Amino acid sequence: MPSQSNKPPSLSPTLKAVDTRFSEAGLARSRRSKPAARPWPTPFDSAQPESLTYQASIPHRAANGVEWLQVSKWDSYGLWAGFSTRRGGLSRVYCPEDAPGELNLGFTVDDDRKIVACNRQLLAEAVTGDRETPLVSLHQIHSNLVVQATRFDAAREAPRKADGQITDEPGLLLAVQTADCIPILVADRRLRAVAAFHAGWRGIVKRIVESGVGRMRLAFSSQPKDLVAAIGPGIGACCYAVGEEVFSAFESQFSYATELFHEVADTRSVRKKYPMLFLTQRAPGHSSLGPSLHVDLVEANRRQLLAAGLQAESIQVIGGCTQCHSELFFSHRASHGHAGRMMAVIGIRAAKGA
C-alpha cells in the first residue's frame, strides 16, 4: 500500500496569485480551515444564570386586590410611586380559564379596551387612593424622546410618541409600560418634580435616562444631589441572551460596555425540554450548545443614573427578572410575544384642599 503523502494540498492558480501578492507586501494569508472557537470579539466574564438573577420583591396588596411594588420612603417626599405586577385585575386573555383576572394595563390587540381602562383605574386607586386620578401614558417607540406632561395629556385620544416624561404638576400619574424592558422612576425630593422612563436596550444605547435627567435639570433646575431613582422589574441578565449586534451597539457608546455583558452557559430550559440532548459521549466543553451572550439592562441603567450625577445610595433596584418570575410579571419573551403590559407610575401628591 503506498504511503500517504504529507505534502499540503496543491493550491489553485487564483490562491497562488493571492499568496504572491501577500508575499510582496510582507504578509501571509491565513490558512485556518475553521472559524475561531470564540464567537465574540472580546472576552467576557463567564457566569451561571443563578448568579445574575435579581430576586423579585414582595408585592403590596391593595384593598381593591391590585398587587404592586411600592418604592419605600418616597411617600415621605409627598410622592406616589410604584410598579404594577400582573396580579389583581379584570383581564382574562393572558391567564388560564380557572385563574383570577389579571392587571393588563396595555391596550393590546388581544384585550378589550374597556377592561384595560378599568384596570388602569384600579391601579390609580391602589397607588393614590382615588381611581379618578389622571394617568398619562405614552406611545413608546424605543427612543430617547422625553416630554413634559400636564393633566391635559391624560385626556389625549392618542398619547404622545416618547419613552420618557417629566412633570412638576401635582395630582397626576406619569406612566410607562413594560413587559421585559426596564422602567425607571426618578424624583427630585427637594423641588418635587418627577420622571418616568422606558429603557430597553435600544433606549439605553440612545441614553434615554441621561437625556431625561438632563431635561429635569433644564425644566425644573433639579440638582443631581437631590434626585432619587428606582429601577423596576425587567428581564434580567440571567435570561436576556442577545446577539453580537447588541454588544456592538453598546460598545460604540460606552467605555464600560464589556462590564455589562456575560457569557452564560444556560442549559436549564434546554435540559428540561430536551433531556436526550445531554446523553452524549462528548467530553465536557465540546457540546454544540455553547455559551450565549447576556446583557445586564438593570446595571446599564444604573450606570446611566450615576453618569447623570445621582449618588449610588440614591438608587434602588426593585422588582426582579420578569422572565424568571412570569407568575408575577408579564414577560414578552417568556410568553413568546403573547403578553400583557405592566406600568411604572409616579406622581406628586396634591395639597389637601387644592
Which CATH number belongs to the domain containing residue 81 in this structure?
3.60.140.10
Q: Is residue 29 part of a domain?
A: no
Residue for grid cell 378599568: 118
Structural contact between residues 164 and 197, judged by C-beta atoms closer than 8 angstroms: yes
Q: Is residue 17 part of a domain?
A: no
Q: Is residue 327 part of a domain?
A: yes
Among residues 161, 194, 197, 167, the alpha carbon closest in space to that of 182 is found at 197
Q: Is residue 39 part of a domain?
A: no
Q: Is residue 22 part of a domain?
A: no
Phi/psi for 221 (5° steps) reads 60, 30
Give the start-end residues of each E strand in 67-138.
67-70, 79-84, 87-91, 102, 135-136
Q: What is the pLDDT of residue 100?
A: 87
Its pTM surpasses 0.75: yes
pLDDT band at 291 (very low <50, low <70, confident <90, very high): confident
Total number of domains in the chain? 1
Among residues 131, 106, 126, the alpha carbon closest in space to that of 66 is found at 126
Written as one letter, the residue type at 194 is V
Q: Is residue 262 part of a domain?
A: no
The residue segments making up the domain with residue 208 are 57-236+314-348
pLDDT in tens, 65-103: 999 999 989 999 999 999 999 999 999 999 988 888 999
Q: Is residue 219 part of a domain?
A: yes
Q: Is residue 202 part of a domain?
A: yes
pLDDT in tens, 157-191: 899 999 999 999 999 999 999 999 999 999 999 99
Structural contact between residues 195 and 186, judged by C-beta atoms closer than 8 angstroms: yes
pLDDT in tens, 21-50: 666 665 665 554 444 444 555 677 777 777
Q: What is the spatial distance between Cα 147 and Cα 317, in angstroms, rounded to a whole number? A: 24
Q: What is the spatial distance between Cα 229 and Cα 264, in angstroms, rounded to a whole number? A: 29
Where on the phi/psi map is residue 45: left (φ > 0), alpha (ψ -120 to 50), or beta? Answer: beta
pLDDT band at 56 (very low <50, low <70, confident <90, very high): confident
Instruction: Enumerate residues 6+ apart whose C-beta is below 8 A from 51.
Output: none
